[in-house]
Structure formats: structure tokens, C-alpha cells
Amino acid sequence: MFTIITGSQFGDEGKGKVVDLLADKYDLIVRFQGGDNAGHTIIHAGEKFKLHIVPSGILAQPRLLIGPGVVMNPEILIREIEMLSENNIVITPERLGIDAKTSIIMPYHIQLDELGEATRSEKIGTTKRGIAYAYMDKIARDEVQLSDITDEKRFKKRVSEVLPQKKNLMRSLGKAPETDEKKWVNKYVGVGRKLKPYLTDVSHEVNDALSDGKKVLAEGAQGTYLDIIHGTQKYVTSSSTIAGSACTNIGIGPKRVTSVIGIVKAYITRVGEGPLPTELHGETGDRLRDRGGEYGTTTGRPRRCGWFDFPLLRKSVNLNGYTEIVLTKLDVLTGLKPIKVCHAYKYKNKKFEYPPHESIDTCHPCIGRT
């Protein structure tokens, strides 16, 4: 059995909690895209832990996998492993596997992310964690993979090939490159030694597990409308967040998909810039934010809140092929009267129950009471 879980909105729908609730029913849990720009919170023995790379389900018994479609900051992963170990949650190579092809976020990716956002006249709202630039290198065939940093000689050769062009790019953005590259190169070599025991071939593991009748759960980061292709360009993430990308990013055939679960919040939120047609300003929006704890796990930024949006959900069903939907945070609406939803959009004096192909930032939501 192969199940895929994705968020149906702009992320932060509660995917991590749902994965934690379902984890005991699965043999493997696989993270298939994104980086440490996403996060989830777990509570263990009364302690709250905010995680960004370690997959959800860490408190259960399944084997956890990080697939080759992920971009990973290895220092953050090491910190999470050490932090969990200090709290008696030990993540051994038997518990966690990381694909050898997983892209590594390098220090220059983070610097370029900061510089790129600073030079934009219209901000995107990036987390400045180097995600976009790591994915750019993957597409440009200039990436550094996990297997590279586990081999000192190969890693240093790879850096010597790529670094000159990164320095030139930084200079073009008005920033002098760091001169102490030897320090971080040696640091990454050390991190690579620590992570070498975790190396695996995720595609091979997952396909073998499915052939043996085991149950696999694939979890995505962010949400449908942050998808690099189908999201609200340009205010999107740098990877494909919809269910179909799980097959590509893990490395399995689509015929093996058994079910697709969509996580839907009872209202809608968004972090950063970009269109949010039902956004609430004022007391109601503040109430949803405070009662729902709507602050980013990764950045701590307050999330923008709005009424439930049916046109966006209808498109999410098509984009992901949901077989099931989980509704979260319904309790946050308790005591709120009236509760409203967006049932359609108005655009150019026409009514649409499905988002028009033009950007939704030009649409007017049709709001009704429930």
C-alpha cells in the first residue's frame, strides 16, 4: 500500500500531526520534496520539538526516509538528530535513511538567497534558507549531493568546479564572496562523515517494500498552491508540492499509488507574500491567528488568515487526485458567529466556482454564511 499526503491550500494545514497519527499503520514514511523552509512540531513527554528535516512520525516505529527530491542543509539535520537524542529520541541509521542523491544546501546558496531577495523590487517572502538556489543548481546540473560530502576528495573537487561561478554571481549582486571557504568546506566534510551511515537508495527501498506487501506513506512539505508549476506564481516554493511529484521525487511508478490524502484546514492561511482572496483583516483574522496558533514553525512569522475557500479546494482535488480528505482545526472556529466560506469567485463580472486561469489576485471572493 502506497499513500501520499499533501496539503490542499498554502501549507500549514496540519500534515505533520496527521502523519504522526497515522504513523503506526505504516512501515516506511518518506519525505519527498522541500527543505528546511518547512517545519512541523511534535510533543514528546511534555516537551515540544520543532523539526524541519527529520520526517514526521518520529515518535512511532516506522523507518523514516528522506528522498532525492529533497534539498537538505546537513548542519540542520545533524542538530535535529542531536537535539532529539538528548531527549531520548535516538535516530540511528536503522531508523533514518537519506538518499545518496539528496541535494545539499551549501553556504553560498543561503548567501545568494539573501542577496536575491534584497535586490527584488517586489519581495517574494522567501525564508532565505537557500532552498531556491539549491533547486536551481539541481536543474542546472551543478548540485552537490549527499554522496559528495561523504567523500572528502570528491567533495573538494566538486566545490572547486562550482565555487568560481558562485563567487562571480555574488559579485554581480554587489556582495564580496566569503574568503574563508576552507573553514566551511572542512565543516561539511565532518558533517558528511557523520551522515555517511545513513546513506541509502530510497527508490530501491520503497519499491522493495511495496513488492513485499509493506505499507509506505509519502509526506510532502508546504501546500498545493505553493507548487512551482501550479501554484500562485511567483509566490511559490521551488519544488513540486502536489501528489504526482511524490512518484518522481521518490522514484516509483504511478500505478503503485493506492490512496492520496488531502489535508484541509477549516479556514485558510498563508505565510509571506502572494494572493489570498479571502484574507481577513482586523478582529476576525486576529482571532483565527491567535486561537489557531498561526505562526510559522520555521520563521515565527504570523500567518495571514482568511475564510475557507471552496474554489481553491476544488482545484486541489483535481491537481492531487484526492481519495480522502482530512479536515483540521475545526475547533478554532468554535464560538465564531457567523462562520463564512468562499463558494465562488467573481472575475470580470462573471462567476466562477473554479479558479479562472488568470491569477486569483484579481478575483473577488463570493462569501456566504454557513
- Which residues carry out catalysis? 12, 40
| Grid cell locating 19 | 502523519
Beta bridge partners of 70: 34
Q: Where are the alpha helices (DSSP H) in the chain?
A: 15-22, 74-86, 107-119, 131-139, 146-149, 152-172, 181-195, 202-211, 244-250, 283-292, 310-320
Count helices and strands in the chain by DSSP H and E runs = 11, 18
Closest CA to 10 of 360, 337, 354: 360
**Over the Cα atoms of the chain, what is R_g?**
21
Please tell me whether residue 12 adopts helix, strand or coil conformation: coil
Closest CA to 271 of 308, 229, 233, 301: 301
Closest CA to 50 of 62, 36, 35, 64: 36
Query: Where on the phi/psi map is residue 57: left (φ > 0), alpha (ψ -120 to 50), or beta?
Result: left
| Grid cell locating 193 | 562523515
Closest CA to 76 of 105, 34, 116: 105
Alpha-carbon gap, residue 332 to 279, rounded angstroms? 16
Q: Residue 189 burial by CB count (10 A; 0-12/13-18/19+): exposed, middle or buried?
A: middle
Alpha-carbon gap, residue 233 to 227, rounded angstroms? 9
- Running DSSP on this structure, what letter comes out for residue 282? S
Measured in degrees and rounded to the nearest 5, phi and psi for residue 185 equal -60, -45
- Give Cα 212 to chain centroid, integer Å: 29
